[in-house]
Amino acid sequence: MSVHEASVEARGSEPSRQHQVVIVGGGAGGITVAARLRRARPDADVAIVEPSDHHYYQPLWTLVGGGVVRKEITRRDERDLIPEGVAWIRDAVARFEPDRNRVYTLDGGEIRYDWLVVAAGIQLQWDAVKGLPETLGRNGVCSNYAYEQCERTWETIRSFRGGTAIFTMPPPPIKCAGAPQKIMYLADDHFRRAAVRDTTRIVYVTGTPTMFSVKEYAATLDRVCERKGIERNFQHKLVELRPEQREAVVVNLQTGEEKVLAYDMIHVTPPQGPPDVVKRSPLADAAGWVEVDKHTLRHPRYPNVFALGDASSLPTSRTAAAVRQEAPVLVANLLAAMRGGAGTASYDGYAACPIPTGYGKLLLAEFDYDLRPAPTFPFLDTTKEHWIYYQMKRYALPVLYWRFMLKGLA
């Protein structure tokens, strides 16, 4: 066992332990914050609490479901990503006690901290749709929202021979709110290549009132749907699947009226919400997310607590691109607080959602808290689809994630 491997083999079964900074969650937010902290303060005593042995680059699951890449390239061993010198507590948090500066793990361990960073992710609620858990991956039902399922999406799309294909999006917030329609556009392209599009009806069922929250990008996506002949059902959500009859029950969020849609295949995005351990903790706001100031990422009631990413109350999209901008702000303000200062770094709500509108075409939606386009490359019109952005999603962004973002370099 290497020195680095030994440094990350800490176990949550110890009855009590103390760390200067405890990070709950070893996903994109937790690893990035830990890496940046250690680069800025090599002597910092940092621990990550994370039960999973694997780490996933989830933005590529759309391309797995579209038959472009294999799912295995989206997974790495967690141990290889824990920054040098950071303790890995391989357990899950069962309870937060911020009044006592403690968290407790499922194995019964007590972890005391000086500073806490919560990056606990989001909870997928498969059972919120009646009939979904027992039929997922079978009977024409698929989803890109799980590593074990995304290749089955491609199998479902590839074997489709015409009929009605439904793609659903629940009311937000969800992680990567563009993902429910990304796979729909790739499926449309494949159906055309397979010569089954003429006998196919594509229906998008979404809990939102428009295709996208930023009007400039919504207008482009409306045109994409019109070009592709995609039907849109706004402000509807999926509440039940009847797999034997291949029927989906959806409800109108404005009137409460239910209607039944027949399908031959259906891609389901599960409802999502804050993790239960966060929702029932003193850290939560009224909606169940970790309450933080939207600019400083610091908790308003517990000044030694910070949060970022999917589990936070930040009113922006839950994407890796958002986390990449949140992390340096959080770390700067945490380091200032550790020195006794207030911290002046400010997050403007930047988020990005790369939306493939077909094989080789992509709309790069970048925006801020005010829902204004915030392009990284202003010389390219981001309200239009571009080939180069598709190549960036396929090849460049995974490299940026694995080799730079998770190492605290970008």
Indicate whether 268 and 224 sit together in one domain. Answer: yes
Q: Flag whether pLDDT at 77 surpasses 60.
A: yes
**Average pLDDT estimate for 240-258:** 97
Dihedral sign for Cα atoms in the order 203, 208, 213, 218: positive
Indicate whether 132 and 104 sit together in one domain. Answer: no
Task: Please provide residue 179's backbone torsions phi and psi, each rounded to the nearest 5 degrees.
Answer: -60, -35
Indicate whether 138 and 224 sit together in one domain. Answer: yes
**pTM (two decimals):** 0.95
Indicate whether 153 and 290 sit together in one domain. Answer: no
Element (H, E) at 198: none
Indicate whether 70 and 154 sit together in one domain. Answer: no
Number of structural domains the chain divides into: 2
Q: What is the DSSP letter of 68?
A: S
CATH of the domain at 175: 3.50.50.60
- pLDDT at residue 6 in the model: 36
Cβ(162)–Cβ(264) below 8 Å: yes
Indicate whether 112 and 129 sit together in one domain. Answer: no
- pLDDT at residue 123 in the model: 98
Render pLDDT for 42-57 as a digit per residue (tens, 0 to 9). Answer: 999 999 999 999 999 9
How far is residue 196's CA from residue 157's CA, in Å, rounded to a whole number? 11
Indicate whether 226 and 298 sit together in one domain. Answer: no
Indicate whether 21 and 102 sit together in one domain. Answer: yes
In a domain, 143, yes or no: yes
Render pLDDT for 305-342 as a digit per residue (tens, 0 to 9). Answer: 999 999 999 999 999 999 999 999 999 999 999 999 99
Instruction: Write down which residue in 348, 376, 391 finishes a domain.
Output: 348
Indicate whether 107 and 224 sit together in one domain. Answer: no
Please state, for a pLDDT cut of 90, what percent of the chain lies above it.
95
Active site residues: 176, 353
Indicate whether 258 and 170 sit together in one domain. Answer: yes
Range(s) of the domain holding residue 154 = 124-272
How far is residue 181's CA from residue 321's CA, in Å, rounded to a whole number? 18
**Average pLDDT estimate for 74-100:** 98
In a domain, 364, yes or no: no
Q: Flag whether pLDDT at 7 surpasses 60.
A: no
In a domain, 106, yes or no: yes
In a domain, 107, yes or no: yes
Indicate whether 118 and 129 sit together in one domain. Answer: no
Instruction: Write down which residue in 272, 297, 330 finishes a domain.
Output: 272
How far is residue 105's CA from residue 49's CA, in Å, rounded to a whole number? 9
- pLDDT at residue 378 in the model: 85
- pLDDT at residue 15 in the model: 76
Render pLDDT for 277-301 as a digit per residue (tens, 0 to 9). Answer: 999 999 999 999 999 999 999 999 9
In a domain, 110, yes or no: yes
- pLDDT at residue 8 in the model: 52
Indicate whether 101 and 149 sit together in one domain. Answer: no
In a domain, 396, yes or no: no
Q: Flag whether pLDDT at 383 surpasses 60.
A: yes
In a domain, 54, yes or no: yes
In a domain, 363, yes or no: no
Instruction: Write down which residue in 208, 237, 272 finishes a domain.
Output: 272
Q: Flag whether pLDDT at 245 surpasses 60.
A: yes
Is residue 42 classed as helix, strand or coil in its secondary structure?
coil
Q: Flag whether pLDDT at 14 surpasses 70.
A: no
